[in-house]
A and B are shown apart, each in its own frame.
Chain A
């Protein structure tokens, strides 16, 4: 019933001259992988409009690990959802310019529903604070879920062996090779988050969006998750945008962007 998403990606950025796995700090110049400009978002609670983001600008270079640091309610998660195509920014109003989220030069804000689905499936991978694994599925099936959506029934069936092998390899790399058939409820918090990271990486996205990935874990486990993320970045040159309220965790990133009351006050690019 659902159309599988295309497996070919948009062309690589044209001007940076930086390889995918190389790190490019946008604060120092060059065409970013992601450029966010004039992002406004207002939620409506009952009859009251609650503005969350007030014109956020942000650049993210290819292979860069950026942490968005802000207090609770500062709009960090909202920003992540908008960048990830889960939500749409406000339309231009009250003098606000049209918001723009350009990923590899393509305007995500103007994407159709189908293009947005494809973008979420192929270009970004989400890691959530509360893992968000499907409790009825095994660890292996949870990791494979994104590839099932991507390839459709027949595409998946044709590549099933390879995809399963890839999922197993990823999970083994995260120390979960013995947990393939387990259900999420049988795993610890740290294990669940590693499964969630494996799921996010299965479609090999260009951008990993992590929303408080250690927020639900104790310090030690949280650090182990950050180690995993650092390892991924080191090995794959993965571009990562991580949201956190903890300066110590944010310090693990290449660059810290401070978000206060829906505005970038420092480090936006």
Chain B
């Protein structure tokens, strides 16, 4: 009982334990805020990576595999599967306005199925908005323009279908959707939005002209791809000009900078992965060679005039099928296994026509992004380690304060011993005291971290505005105190996510730090000789 009484009295009547508590508060809050922000950053990055992949990807790069419609039908028949979509991923070149050519990743997609599997529709940038985004307090977003609603709606729908109406024929023609950072034609704003740039571009007469670069308006770009034969050998390059239907922002700079989305069938034709007929000479081998190359006798649908060899139908191919789980929080690994089983069943139905289940790559979105995720995880771990190390000073601080307090309270220890308190009892007074400081410090630190993390963007905004005001007042030039500048970072707001287990871990760490810090002084108090303690001056 006297332990509780003394702990309470010491805690409320001294300044030093309050300082120790404050140190624990700050250390706990610092670690928790860091972890929450870095965790939020990692979460945003991975979710952004998931946005354009779905949950599981069944892939055979380059050559691809056929009968994917059948595979998709089998997948979507399973109640655990929400949707599946075929895509092709291939490297290519994009000729920019200034006649520059850049390497890009081209993804051939079906807009409708791709949108069901991924967050594609949400990533399309140009669409009419009813309300400004959170940080656009001035309402500067071009997408808010009432007069442009019809145009933006059409651009949005073009983006969904990856087609654009040909002004001459009036028929939809395949189009491409660019990553927001491709070509550098968009300027990022203070609030994390985009304006199309106005810049000089190469003119047809060899000179240059000033042009408003709004690519979905009337932009056309040339795409070059190199088709491969069934054994991965390159064929002649294929180029084609496409109108730009829209632009997308995935949240990952690398993807937004290097990816172009194209209508699936257009890309299949360019890569010669579309459904086609092939001539096979009697005897089994294709025309033009003795190797069992499925593309060796490739030709366009024009088969007139050829009559002697046998005509074989080669089905269309894709390099991947993306699959989305019905339960977003379900077991990803179990879902991958499920997809594997469905694919194995699919191979039995198409024996010899599709790659074996052992050859195909079936990976989760986490596996697909593991390089990026592990890099950020390592970075998070490193930062946490550094901050935890700094926070470890709390142990020494508690130790120093307790050491000083025990010196100050030596007589109290002597009195307790004279009244019959045991060594263990005296030690427990100080350990309990450390525990109390730890509990108070950790809980207050947790609350402080929670308050800061949940309002981190408002706090950040407040600091930035203070800088602007101070700078304008003192030097006639606003000071830029933006730490997380939306112009620079892909995420417009500082990401954050407090996870309960992390909070429990950090708070327990804060608590243990105090107990560890109090341990040695407590032992010292316990071992104090009662007479020396009573005579201590």
Verify if A2 is at the interface (C-beta below 8 Å from B): yes
Task: Mark interface residues in A113-149 (1 if CB within 8 Å of B CB, else 0).
Answer: 1100111111000101000111011000100011011
Chain A positions within 8 Å of B488 at CB level: none
Chain A positions within 8 Å of B530 at CB level: 86-87
Verify if A153 is at the interface (C-beta below 8 Å from B): yes
Q: Are A153 and B1 in contact (CB under 8 A)?
A: yes
CB distance from A139 to the nearest CB of B (A): 13
B183-234 contacts to A (CB < 8 Å): none
A141-169 contacts to B (CB < 8 Å): 141, 145-146, 148-153, 156-157
User: Interface size bucket, A side?
Assistant: 35 or more
Known A87-B530, A132-B411, A141-B5; judge A146-B420 contact (CB<8 A).
yes
- Stretch of B33-41, B113-121, B293-301, B421-429 that contacts chain A: B421-429
Q: Are B414 and A117 in contact (CB under 8 A)?
A: no
Instruction: Give complex CA distance A86, B6 in Å.
Output: 22
User: Dominant SS at the B interface?
Assistant: helix
Q: Are A145 and B419 in contact (CB under 8 A)?
A: yes
Q: Are B13 and A136 in contact (CB under 8 A)?
A: yes
Verify if A16 is at the interface (C-beta below 8 Å from B): no
Q: Are B10 and A86 in contact (CB under 8 A)?
A: no
Verify if A5 is at the interface (C-beta below 8 Å from B): yes
Q: Are B421 and A2 in contact (CB under 8 A)?
A: yes
Instruction: Give complex CA distance A136, B534 in Å.
Output: 17
Chain B positions within 8 Å of A128 at CB level: 534
- B14: nearest residue on chain A (CB-CB)? A136
Task: Choose from B6, B13, B428 the contact partner of A1 (Cβ within 8 Å).
Answer: B428
A172-192 contacts to B (CB < 8 Å): none
Q: Are A149 and B428 in contact (CB under 8 A)?
A: no
Q: Are A149 and B534 in contact (CB under 8 A)?
A: no
CB distance from A200 to the nearest CB of B (A): 9
- B4: nearest residue on chain A (CB-CB)? A153
Verify if A96 is at the interface (C-beta below 8 Å from B): no
CB distance from B531 to the nearest CB of A (A): 5
Q: Are A126 and B418 in contact (CB under 8 A)?
A: yes
Verify if A84 is at the interface (C-beta below 8 Å from B): yes
Verify if A20 is at the interface (C-beta below 8 Å from B): no
Q: Are B418 and A120 in contact (CB under 8 A)?
A: yes
Q: Are B5 and A148 in contact (CB under 8 A)?
A: yes
CB distance from A167 to the nearest CB of B (A): 14
Known A132-B415, A136-B6, A153-B4; judge A2-B534 contact (CB<8 A).
no
CB distance from A162 to the nearest CB of B (A): 14
- A118: nearest residue on chain B (CB-CB)? B420
Verify if A3 is at the interface (C-beta below 8 Å from B): yes
Q: Are A156 and B419 in contact (CB under 8 A)?
A: no
**Residue with the greatest number of chain A CB neighbours at <10 A, chosen from B4, B420, B530:** B420
Verify if B412 is at the interface (C-beta below 8 Å from A): yes
Instruction: Give complex CA distance A114, B423 in Å.
Output: 9
- B11: nearest residue on chain A (CB-CB)? A136
**Residue with the greatest number of chain B CB neighbours at <10 A, chosen from A113, A122, A146:** A146
Verify if A21 is at the interface (C-beta below 8 Å from B): no
- A134: nearest residue on chain B (CB-CB)? B412
Q: Which residues of A contact B (CB under 8 A)?
A: 1-3, 5, 81, 84, 86-87, 113-114, 117-122, 126, 128, 132-134, 136-137, 141, 145-146, 148-153, 156-157, 199
> 28 A-B Cβ contacts within 8 A?
A1-B3, A1-B432, A2-B422, A2-B425, A81-B531, A86-B418, A86-B531, A87-B529, A87-B531, A113-B423, A117-B421, A119-B420, A120-B420, A126-B419, A132-B411, A133-B415, A134-B6, A134-B412, A136-B10, A141-B5, A145-B2, A145-B5, A146-B419, A148-B5, A149-B420, A149-B425, A152-B1, A157-B1
Extra 5 A-B pairs, beta carbons < 8 Å, given A134-B9, A145-B416, A156-B1: A2-B424, A2-B428, A120-B418, A121-B420, A132-B411
A-B interface, 5 closest residue pairs, ranked by CB to CB distance from nearest:
A121-B420, A2-B425, A1-B428, A136-B9, A148-B2
